[in-house]
């Protein structure tokens, strides 16, 4: 019989060949799907796949991820998209890095560096199906009647306009948004100061809308010192005697003594410490915080030209974070400014705390 006109399914050898090809195709498809899942799952894509810029003054070097609605490292709704800093190095010490186990661009705290978060504008007025604004993010949808949560992702309706200017030792971000809830022109400029181990972050917020902008902003300061877990030797120091409320983990993981918070034992797994701190005055001189690691010798001082409106601290397995707040009130047509200074220094390892 002439088999030349019969289908491949009548030939055992051909059938085995095509079944093998189909099996390999399925395996390849599953592998590609697993890669996509990893990109929004347990591990982050390679660092070079994100828009970024490196700056240096010859003393301090830093890498900064750039805002980008499609390809940016951070695309969630809790933190300002500008100033995400996966790396900063000084005198052989590293200060920032990936401290969290799972990456996805829309996870609220999958972010690194001295990042800032503004309390939302117009959320309560929006109602379900309405919209509100987060400075540094844009116009955002309120999908339901639930209270606002910074730990939740909200659909972004308008990311505004970003302009970026880079120099050898600095970078400037400008974010503009025009909306019925709130309109603004926001600039953040990061500069590594010439000849000094210092980083300056200058902010300008101009109200271009019709209503007063009233909000708080805080700097989370995700310090991951020398890629080490939090352990004894890590100390936070303030220029005022501390008291605490709403605390968690104090007395076990860390303790307050006078003007300092010291770590008592190594953190494990999902353990964390938290407290609302008091003792500061209405003077900007109290916005002066030191983080020291007496084991590695890394240190940083944070100062600002605005008074504290609130002071929190939080720590987990790999980061110990001072979270200072300032209050912002900007009438229509007016401008509000604030500046942070980060001064990096070193200690003798195992020196007295």
What was the pLDDT predicted at 197? 98
15 pLDDT higher than 50: no
Q: Please, how many CA atoms are within 13 Å of residue 331, restricted to the half-sphere of its CB?
A: 0
Average pLDDT, integer, range 123-136: 96
> What's the pLDDT tens digit per position in 171-215?
999 999 999 989 999 999 999 999 999 999 999 999 999 999 999
* pLDDT, tens digit (0-9, with 9 covering 90-100), for 142-165: 999 999 999 999 999 999 999 999
Output 62 or 25, whichever has higher pLDDT.
62
The neighbour count for residue 200, using CB atoms within 10 Å, is 16
Greatest distance between any 2 Cα atoms in the chain: 100
Contact 129, 227 (CB under 8 A): no
| pLDDT for the residue 45 | 64
Please enumerate in sequence order all residues whose Cβ is within 8 A of that of 209, keeping only pairs 6 or more positions apart, or say none.
178, 179, 182, 183, 184, 332
Instruction: Give me the chain's average pLDDT, please.
Output: 89
pLDDT of residue 7: 42
Dihedral sign, CA of 128, 218, 85, 68? Answer: positive
pLDDT of residue 47: 63
């Amino acid at each position: 019989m002439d088999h030349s006109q019969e289908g491949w399914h009548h030939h055992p050898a051909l059938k085995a060949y095509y079944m093998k090809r189909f099996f390999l195709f399925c395996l390849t498809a599953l592998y590609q799907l697993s890669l996509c899942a990893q990109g929004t799952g347990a591990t982050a894509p390679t660092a070079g796949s994100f828009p970024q810029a490196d700056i240096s003054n010859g003393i301090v070097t830093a890498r900064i991820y750039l805002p980008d609605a499609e390809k940016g490292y951070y695309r969630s709704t809790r933190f300002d998209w500008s100033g995400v800093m996966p790396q900063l190095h000084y005198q052989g010490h590293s200060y920032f890095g990936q401290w969290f186990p799972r990456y996805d661009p829309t996870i609220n705290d999958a972010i690194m560096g001295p990042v800032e978060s503004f309390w939302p504008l117009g959320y309560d007025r929006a109602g379900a199906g309405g919209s509100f604004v987060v400075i540094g993010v844009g116009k955002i949808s309120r999908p339901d009647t639930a209270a606002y949560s910074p730990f939740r992702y909200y659909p972004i309706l308008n990311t505004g306009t970003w302009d970026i200017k880079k120099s050898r030792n600095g970078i400037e971000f400008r974010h503009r948004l025009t909306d019925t809830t709130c309109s603004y022109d926001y600039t953040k400029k990061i500069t590594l100061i010439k000849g000094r181990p210092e980083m300056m972050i200058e902010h300008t917020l101009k109200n271009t809308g019709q209503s007063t902008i009233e909000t708080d902003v805080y700097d989370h300061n995700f310090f991951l010192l020398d890629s080490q877990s939090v352990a004894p030797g890590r100390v936070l120091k303030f220029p005022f005697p501390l008291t605490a409320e709403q605390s968690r983990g104090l007395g076990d993981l860390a303790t307050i003594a006078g003007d300092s918070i010291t770590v008592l034992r190594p953190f494990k797994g999902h353990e964390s410490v938290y407290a609302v701190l008091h003792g500061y005055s209405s003077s900007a001189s109290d916005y002066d915080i030191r983080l020291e690691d007496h084991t590695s010798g890394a240190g940083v001082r944070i100062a600002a030209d605005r008074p504290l409106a609130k002071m929190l601290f939080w720590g987990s397995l790999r980061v110990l974070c001072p979270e200072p707040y300032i209050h912002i009130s900007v009438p229509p047509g007016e401008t509000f400014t604030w500046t942070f200074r980060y001064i990096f220094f070193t200690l003798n390892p195992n020196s007295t705390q």
